[in-house]
Each structure stands twice: as structure tokens, then as C-alpha cells.
């Protein structure tokens, strides 16, 4: 019969699909009670469930002497069990200064980098493996402390959801937490019963950090004066919040799919009307999800979202909400454009002109092709002149016109821009391929999702022998 902790871990694994047969587990092993307990239980369950395991230990060089003792302890227990142990030694405080982070944040980055490296190495060497996962030893008390920490900072629903049983690492590996339903006192009792003698980090009993102050001061005070089961209460709050969060995420995904108009590198475009009609809770998640897909995964505050709401739901045809790191949410008439900072506008690109044999070409937003001989004949120019100056890329000028396919006369570019709903502030920046005042091509705009426009006078056909090709190329 299994003991309480082992049974709880086993049930958590089964309930959440944390570990499956033929998977490999990279366990973060600090040497403290939590990770040593999980190490001991998993080595006992490995054969029963059918997984393999290795460990990773990170020496942060913060506690001279004690850090080396912890490392030796971990290496020894792994050697005794025949488990591979990879040790990473990093000067955490030096990295913190180098990266401009707190020592806690730097330590976390160092650890996750080490876990990802080990997972990637095993995955590359064992392609037959069903999957590689990273196991971390967060427990029920960690969950309660995390929720309280976020409440004090002013969190929303997602923050109340606390620590997930499974999520993705920076490199895309599953991070699982099989110990999350175990209370700290049960873990410590397990270690004592098994004679594991884990390492004790004395800094955990000192009120040096906010989290320590919550664990050592705030929660004991609440436990004594208000709710003796505050740990269980906060854990249940997290579980309820996760259910609500997961439902809203699913609904937001449906809303995002319905509203999506275009997606290119650095740009995601939505239908403004559909986002405007959506409840704010879903609209916010669509925006957060789009920016996350573009690369902005943190530093999105309620203030940012309120500004984005004002832009999306306001009356202005064109407006912008700026987010951290150069990311933005723009509106242009009926569209909402989420942009990454590296998304380049056409006016920041260079162009080139080529001649190609044949009469077939697949035009797109970044390229266009016309019948070279018809173009030269109509304008009385040579092939060399077409390549070297007769055709130019420029912004609009008074008198510019274009004859669109199927159109009898030529249309003023000013009128065309109005029809295309190009914001007035952007019209003077739009670059076009022109010959004199005749516009041949207005490239599509990846940022706004606007489609390109082509002259209908020089289209390639069955009798076309050579094409003149215009291409956009990013400037270096």
C-alpha cells in the first residue's frame, strides 16, 4: 500500500496526464525537501508507469559553501540511485547585474535554460522517445503563497489561477508539477520517514523577499486570526479560477478565429466590428493572444488594455495603442492591426526591377509583373530605360492616376486612396511604381492587410514573351 504522499503524487500524475509510459523526465533537483521527496517518489514509480528520468541541479553560487554542499548531496543521491545528474554552475548575482534583473529573476532564467538544454539534448539523442518533460517540485503551499503574492500585487483572473499543473517551458517542453497537491508538512514528514535528510536553505526562513514574508508572516497571521485552513482556501480559489480561465480562453479562441482577417510575419489583422461587439473579457484575451503570438508575452497591463479598448471601440477611423517594446494595436477603418516592432512598412523597403522570360508570374503583396514589350511600346522607351530610370518608385504627386483592370478611364490616386480607406496621415508615405504620372503598381501593405492594386493596361497574356518584374526587398 502506498503512503499518503506517493498516492497523492500518483493520482495527480494520472488526473493531469503529467507523466506517461515511454516518456523521459528531466527533474529539477535542488536538494531541498520538495525536490528530494519528488525524486524519491518518481524513482519508485518509474518502473510501474514506464518512464525514464534524469536530474538537473543548478549551483547559483549565492551561498558560498552551502551551495557546494547542496551540489555534492545531489550528485551523491543520484549516483546511489544510478540516475544521471547534470550540474550547471552559474554566478547568479553576476548574471543579474548583466541582464538588469533581480537575483530571483536571473536565477529562474538560469534554471529554466538548464532544464531546456537537458531536455533538448535527450530529445535529440533519443528520437524514439515518446516525449521529454520537465518536472518541478512546487507544492500546495507554494500554490497558496503564489496566489496571495499575486493578490497583493493586484492580479486578474489569470493570476488567481496560480501555478498550473502543466505549462510550456521557454523552449516548448512540457513542465509538469506532480507535487502540487501535496502539503509541505506531509512532504517534510515523508522525508523524515524515509531518512532522506534533504538540504535546508536557511534563506527560506529569513524574511528577505516578499514571498518569504508571505510564507513566514502573512499566512501564519491569517491562519491564526482569520482562517486556519488558508492554504486550502487559496488552493481551491486557484482551481476555480483555472476553470473559469480555461473556459474564457476557449471562447476567446473562437472569437479570434471568427474575427481574423490576415496573418503575416509580424502582423495579425482582425475585423474591427467583430472585436468591438465581443465582450471585453474575450476581446482582451484575443489581443493578449495575438501580441503573445507576435512575441510580447509579458508586461501587458490593464492600462494597456483600456487604451486598446478606447482605440478599438472609439469613433476614430485611425488610432494606435502602444504596448511595451514597440508592439502596438492600431485601427484603420474596419480593421484592428496587432504589430510586432520588427514589422517593416513598405516605405522602409527598397525595390528592384528585373526582366524575366515567359508570360506567367504569380503576383503578391511584395511583387508585381507586367508585359515589358507593351509597356515599352506604349511609352516609347527602351528595355534599358525601363530598368534604369523610366520606371521609378516614389510617393504620390499631383496628377498621378491609375487605370485599374476593367476600368475605362484613369482614376486619381487621391480618390483611390479614399476608396481604399487609407488614413490621410499615411497617404503621403505610400510608395508606388510609376512611369511619369501613370501608376503601375501600389504594393499591398502587410501591416494593414490592404491588398495591392495593379494597372490593367500592361497585363501579361498568351502573347507575352517577357515580363518586367517589380519586387520589394527589405533594406539592410
pLDDT number for residue 365? 67
Strand partners, 329: 321, 338
Backbone angles phi, psi at 384, to 5 degrees: -65, -40
- Burial code (b: 16+ CB inside 10 Å, e: under 16) for 25-42 equals bbbbbbbbbbbbbbbbbb
Query: DSSP character for 346?
Result: G
CA distance from start to end of the chain: 67
Least confident of 82-86, 275-279, 336-340: 336-340
Query: What would the DSSP string read from start to end of 23-34?
Result: EEEEEE--SSHH
Q: Read off the pLDDT band of 291 (50, 70, 90).
A: very high
Query: CA 91, CA 98: separation in Å to the nearest integer?
Result: 11
Single out the residue of 252, 238, 325, 314 nearest to residue 287, CA to CA: 252
pLDDT number for residue 48? 95
Query: CA 70, CA 35: separation in Å to the nearest integer?
Result: 12
pLDDT number for residue 346? 45
User: What does the block give as the cell for 11?
Assistant: 493520482
Give kind and range of the element (H or E) at residue 326.
none
What is the 3-class SS of 348-363, one letter each residue?
Answer: HEEEEEEEEECCCCCC
Query: CA 384, CA 396: separation in Å to the nearest integer?
Result: 24
Higher pLDDT, 68 or 299: 68
Q: Is the pTM of this model over 0.75?
A: no
Least confident of 11-25, 78-92, 157-171, 358-372: 358-372
Single out the residue of 444, 453, 354 nearest to residue 401, CA to CA: 453
The dihedral over CA atoms of 148, 149, 153, 158, expressed in degrees to the nearest 10, equals: -70
What is the mean pLDDT of the segment spanning 356-373? 80
- Map grid coordinates 510550456 to a residue: 168
Q: What is the CA radius of gyration of the chain?
A: 30
What is the mean pLDDT of the segment spanning 448-470? 84
Higher pLDDT, 406 or 29: 29
Q: Which of 60-64, 141-145, 303-307, 406-410 has the highest mean pLDDT?
A: 141-145
Q: Read off the pLDDT band of 344 (50, 70, 90).
A: very low
* % residues pLDDT > 90 (the chain): 53
pLDDT number for residue 450? 73
| Contact criterion met (CB below 8 Å) for 20 and 49 | yes
Q: How many CB atoms lie within 10 A of CB 371?
A: 21
Query: CA 422, CA 347: separation in Å to the nearest integer?
Result: 14
What is the mean pLDDT of the segment spanning 235-248? 97
pLDDT exceeds 60 at position 343:
no
Single out the residue of 343, 349, 334, 327 nearest to residue 267, CA to CA: 343
Strand 432-435 relative to strand 438-442, pairing: antiparallel
pLDDT number for residue 180? 97
Q: So where are the chain's domains? A: 4-236, 265-339, 346-474
Contacts of residue 370, Cβ cutoff 8 Å, sequence gap at least 6: 440, 454, 455, 458, 459, 460, 467, 468
Query: CA 173, CA 169: separation in Å to the nearest integer?
Result: 5
Query: What would the DSSP string read from start to end of 397-409?
Result: -TT-EE--TT-SS
- Burial code (b: 16+ CB inside 10 Å, e: under 16) for 398-420 equals eebbbbeeeeeebbebeebbeeb
Length of the chain: 476
Task: Please write the tens of the pLDDT for every residue from 176-202.
Answer: 999 999 999 999 999 999 999 999 988
* % residues pLDDT > 70 (the chain): 96
pLDDT exceeds 70 at position 438:
yes
Q: Read off the pLDDT band of 253 (50, 70, 90).
A: very high
CATH number of 4-236: 3.40.50.620
Give kind and range of the element (H or E) at residue 144.
helix 140-153
Mean pLDDT (the chain) is: 89
Quick one: CATH architecture of 265-339? 2-Layer Sandwich (3.30)
pLDDT exceeds 80 at position 310:
yes
Which ranges of 301-454 would DSSP assign to H, the alpha helix?
302-313, 372-379, 383-385, 413-419, 424-427
* Cα 33 off chain centre by: 33
pLDDT number for residue 287? 96
| Contact criterion met (CB below 8 Å) for 425 and 313 | no
pLDDT number for residue 475? 52
Using DSSP's 3-state secondary structure scheme, residue 321 falls into: strand
Higher pLDDT, 161 or 395: 161
| Contact criterion met (CB below 8 Å) for 58 and 206 | no
What is the mean pLDDT of the segment spanning 433-442? 88
Amino acid at each position: 500500500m502506498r503512503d499518503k504522499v506517493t498516492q497523492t503524487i500518483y493520482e495527480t500524475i494520472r488526473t493531469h496526464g503529467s507523466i506517461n509510459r515511454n516518456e523521459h523526465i528531466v527533474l529539477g533537483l535542488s536538494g531541498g525537501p520538495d525536490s528530494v521527496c519528488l525524486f524519491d517518489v518518481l524513482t519508485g514509480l518509474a518502473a510501474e508507469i514506464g518512464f525514464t528520468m534524469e536530474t538537473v541541479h543548478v549551483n547559483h553560487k549565492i551561498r558560498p559553501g552551502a551551495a557546494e554542499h547542496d551540489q555534492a548531496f545531489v550528485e551523491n543521491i543520484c549516483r546511489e540511485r544510478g540516475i544521471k545528474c547534470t550540474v550547471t554552475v552559474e554566478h547568479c548575482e553576476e548574471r543579474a547585474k548583466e541582464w538588469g534583473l533581480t537575483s530571483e529573476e536571473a536565477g529562474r532564467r538560469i534554471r529554466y535554460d538548464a532544464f531546456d538544454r537537458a531536455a533538448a539534448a535527450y530529445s535529440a539523442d533519443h528520437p524514439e522517445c515518446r516525449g521529454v518533460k520537465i518536472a518541478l517540485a512546487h507544492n500546495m503551499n507554494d500554490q497558496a503563497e503564489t496566489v496571495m503574492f499575486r493578490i497583493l500585487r493586484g492580479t486578474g483572473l489569470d493570476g488567481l489561477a496560480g501555478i498550473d499543473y502543466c505549462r510550456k517551458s521557454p523552449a516548448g517542453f512540457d513542465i509538469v508539477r506532480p507535487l502540487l497537491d501535496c502539503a509541505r508538512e506531509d512532504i517534510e514528514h515523508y522525508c523524515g520517514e524515509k531518512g532522506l535528510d534533504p538540504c535546508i536553505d536557511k534563506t527560506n526562513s529569513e524574511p528577505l523577499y516578499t514571498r518569504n514574508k508571505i510564507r513566514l508572516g502573512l499566512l501564519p497571521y491569517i491562519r491564526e486570526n482569520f482562517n486556519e485552513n488558508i492554504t486550502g482556501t487559496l488552493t481551491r480559489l486557484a482551481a476555480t479560477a483555472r476553470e473559469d480561465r480555461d473556459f474564457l480562453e476557449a471562447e476567446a479562441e473562437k472569437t479570434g478565429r471568427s474575427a481574423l482577417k490576415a496573418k503575416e510575419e509580424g502582423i495579425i489583422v482582425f475585423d474591427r466590428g467583430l472585436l468591438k461587439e465581443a465582450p471585453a473579457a474575450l476581446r482582451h484575451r484575443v489581443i493578449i493572444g495575438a501580441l503573445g503570438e507576435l512575441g510580447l508575452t509579458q508586461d501587458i497591463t490593464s492600462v494597456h488594455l483600456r487604451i486598446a479598448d478606447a482605440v478599438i471601440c472609439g469613433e476614430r477611423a485611425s488610432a494606435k495603442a502602444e504596448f511595451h517594446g514597440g508592439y502596438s494595436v492600431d485601427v484603420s477603418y474596419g480593421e484592428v492591426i496587432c504589430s510586432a516592432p520588427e514589422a517593416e512598412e513598405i516605405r522602409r523597403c527598397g525595390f528592384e526591377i528585373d526582366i524575366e522570360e515567359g508570360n506567367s508570374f504569380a503576383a503578391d503583396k511584395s511583387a508585381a509583373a507586367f508585359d515589358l514589350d507593351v509597356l515599352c511600346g506604349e511609352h516609347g522607351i527602351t528595355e534599358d530605360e525601363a530598368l534604369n530610370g523610366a520606371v521609378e518608385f516614389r510617393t504620390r504627386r499631383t496628377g498621378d492616376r491609375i487605370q485599374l483592370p476593367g476600368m475605362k478611364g484613369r482614376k486619381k490616386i487621391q480618390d483611390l486612396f479614399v476608396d481604399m480607406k487609407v488614413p490621410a496621415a499615411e497617404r503621403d508615405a505610400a510608395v508606388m511604381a510609376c512611369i511619369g504620372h501613370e501608376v503601375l503598381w501600389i504594393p499591398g501593405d502587410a501591416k494593414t492587410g490592404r491588398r495591392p492594386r495593379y494597372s490593367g493596361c500592361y497585363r501579361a497574356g498568351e502573347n507575352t514573351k517577357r515580363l518586367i518584374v517589380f519586387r520589394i526587398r527589405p533594406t539592410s
